[in-house]
A and B are shown apart, each in its own frame.
Chain A
């Protein structure tokens, strides 16, 4: 098992395996996303309280989930790269940042669009929206730090330290924002009281979440392959692979 793991950690093997898996993952992701969106937009009934407005959750919830998953993936990969000096792990961490920031932005944008009919404003200093906003700032800081270094290996390690500091801080930030928000609860905000969701609404959400996650994996593979192409451009194995095909 460990040899397999070590093999996966080497760029040539990853390049080969990910190249073979990528078409499968992307097509399954595409199918599940289409199914989830169709189920959410057409098959599931309208909410008795929110009407058709609630249907945005089929994009909003997967995006919010991935915004956090991407950060955790990025920090784990960064930690692995920092401790065991695996170059591929740094490439994975580098590939997580932009998709993660995009999903965070998507979660914020859909949350804001959802908030307009529900709360009556585009923006509400709701605890979850605020933590997502700060998460977006963390992503943007990570990306700017990475871009500030011209040396790739230095950028890798410096941004890895930042990602690890960030991942320790995220729960603290989240709880502080929640606490701040409960103290500042405006009278106009009517939160949905723990929506117990019915089955006909739930399955498209789960399908959509799995589809989005696989889409993220496909994106991650593609971006990591691009990183490998850039980082290993002077190596022999890569020229062999590229000229062989």
Chain B
């Protein structure tokens, strides 16, 4: 009964440990997030009312791009050194193992974005009242972005230059997350109730957690052939 759970936890611990050894690689997507976001005031204009109007959209698009950027490496090294094959051969169910991998990836690449969000929100003069919705939206949305990214990464891992292709495949699928997430923050800024889009995001996340690992597992098995 507890065997799948131990498998999940072992995989999670192993992935976190391996990732922490390459700490500087973890920082790159975060740095990318901060830099991209700070380009917008430079390109547009630093007027607070304009920035507050654009803020939710800019933060969400930047979070989406930063997640995408970090996705290419999720399976790459394991694919090259044969570790992925061992995961596929192991008696633990592959979808669960991949869910552990996605969880580890989210903890290291998604969660820091959520932590940085209040800082960025301050840079964009978002009202304090919108902050809880922004954080809640990102907490629900970024795991979904990571999950969708794993499908794309699994499909393109055996290709030599899969990075751009990965974005092409996954970006259209991420549209609903972007719409609900950015709109929820926008609504919170205008004092409307945001339970609707947040519940929708939450239900999408549940759907993603239950279905996406199976698609990723199928894609991994195809890539390993």
Contacts and interface: CB of A to CB of B under 8 A. Distances in A.
Contact of B176 (A145, A154, A176): A176
Contacts of B222: 154, 157-158, 161
Interface in A78-136: 82, 134
Nearest to A179: B179
B166 to A, nearest CB: 10
Contact of A173 (B169, B172, B200): B172
A183 B204 contact: no
Give the interface size class of chain A.
Answer: 20 to 34
A145 B211 contact: no
B172 A134 contact: yes
Interface string B186-225: 0000000000000010001000000110010011001101
B89 interface: no
Interface string A153-179: 010011001101110110011001101
A144 B161 CA distance: 12
A180 B176 CA distance: 9
A194 to B, nearest CB: 25
Given A148-B159, A168-B211, A180-B183, A162 B172 contact: no
A33 interface: no
25 contacts: A137-B168, A137-B171, A141-B168, A141-B172, A144-B165, A144-B168, A148-B156, A148-B162, A149-B159, A154-B158, A162-B151, A162-B169, A165-B151, A165-B173, A165-B212, A166-B172, A166-B173, A169-B173, A173-B173, A176-B176, A176-B180, A177-B175, A177-B179, A179-B179, A180-B183
Interface of B: 151, 155-156, 158-159, 162, 165, 168-169, 171-173, 175-176, 179-180, 183, 200, 204, 211-212, 215, 218-219, 222-223, 225
Interface of A: 82, 134, 137-138, 140-141, 144-145, 148-149, 154, 157-158, 161-162, 164-166, 168-169, 172-173, 176-177, 179-180, 183
